[in-house]
Amino acid sequence: MQIATYISDLLYRHECVVLPGYGAFISRRVPAQHFMSSHTIYPPKKGLTFNAQIQQNDGLLVNYVATVESIPYQEAVQEVRNYVRFLDHELDTNGVITIHKIGRFTRNEEQSLQFTPMYLVNYLPEAFGLTAHETYAVDRTPMETFIPVPVVETAAVETPVLIEEETPVVPLHVPAASKTPWLRYAAIGAVLVGLSYTGFNSYTRNVAQSEIAVEQMANEQFNREIQEATFVIPNPLPGIELEVAPLIKNYHIVAGAFRDPLNADKKVKQLIHKGYEAERIGVNRYGLHNVAFSSHVDRNDAINELYRLRKQGFTGAWLLTGSLSK
């Protein structure tokens, strides 16, 4: 029987899978990692660890084996025990045992179990299909600074103008008295142009400010009208009442199973008297009436409650998944 395959199947859906009599495989989420030495990015995954202190049967693995193999619960328990004996025998004989897709077990000098997980197996469903991606390092060497070459001024070389002999050159003589009025007029024109440019800029700014003020006033008036407006719907739609489905509690901490329903009711009263939310949760395939300490929506909450009850002395309590026939 492929018990290792069943453990691997459950690790995709659960954070803790207990191999009764051997230990518990616990998974935790590891974020994506980037290794600078190899420039490789690894996707997020579920990392596996092993706790040899958790060996009590929580019913998860045994129930899964019984369901897949279509065998009774007690026969599934025996198959799991046989697998644990096989692991111990291989360790004693070869000193090492490898569980497919899970990891390798060895023993140290103190004969304690040492677990090495298989890092290539990713039990995180959200990361399905993602693989390691190798990147390339970016060359961050600073570029050479450009130093401008100074321009050396050289004396201007006059280019001779060739004038045809047939073109007469008549010198233009401007009287000294006529040069001064033209320069004066040019200076006055430059001042007038500067004043006109300054006035135009001032006018442009005033126009822009006026437009902004008008826009603000329009927005304020529009907002006041919206606030004061009332909307009347002549034919409103009828109200709809939605019924919220109750949460289904499929994880039960079983206190015992009884052939006589009167004994089951008596057990329920005893547990309620002790402060537990006990109830009968149905009849199993063997005709026994199961009584639960409590029922939970989340499986992790149920496992935590199971461990707490076992520490209080209820060693016979176990976890039942699913619903039973009433």
Contact indicator for 79, 7 with CB cutoff of 8 Å: no
Taking alpha carbons only, the member of 326, 311, 300, 310 closest to residue 254 is 310
Contact indicator for 251, 295 with CB cutoff of 8 Å: yes
Q: Strand 133-134 and strand 279-283: pairing?
A: unpaired
Helices 3-11 and 60-69: crossing angle in degrees, nearest 10, is: 120
Burial of 207 (0-12, 13-18, 19+ CB in 10 A): exposed
Query: For position 322, what pLDDT does the model report?
Result: 79
DSSP designation for 204: H
Q: Note the CATH architecture for domain 251-321.
A: 2-Layer Sandwich (3.30)
Query: For position 293, what pLDDT does the model report?
Result: 92
Number of H helices, E strands in the chain: 6, 13
Upper half-sphere CA count for residue 305 (Cβ side, 13 Å): 22
Contact indicator for 113, 50 with CB cutoff of 8 Å: yes
Query: For position 232, what pLDDT does the model report?
Result: 58
Query: For position 130, what pLDDT does the model report?
Result: 60
Distance separating alpha carbons of residues 280 and 267, to the nearest angstrom: 9
| pLDDT (tens digit per residue) in 35-77 | 666 667 766 777 788 998 888 888 899 998 988 888 899 999 9
Burial of 312 (0-12, 13-18, 19+ CB in 10 A): exposed
| pLDDT (tens digit per residue) in 251-276 | 889 988 888 889 989 999 999 998 88
Taking alpha carbons only, the member of 245, 265, 247 closest to residue 255 is 265
Averaged pLDDT score across all residues of the chain: 75
> What residues in the chain have per-residue pLDDT under 50?
154-157, 159-165, 169-170, 172-174, 176-179
Token code pair at residue 309: 């009850």
Contact indicator for 29, 124 with CB cutoff of 8 Å: yes
Q: What predicted TM-score, i.e. pTM, was given to this entire model?
A: 0.40
Return the percent helix, strand and coil in the chain, to nearest 5.
40, 20, 40
Domain segments of the chain: what residues?
3-134, 251-321
Residues 263, 264, 267, 273, CA torsion sign: negative
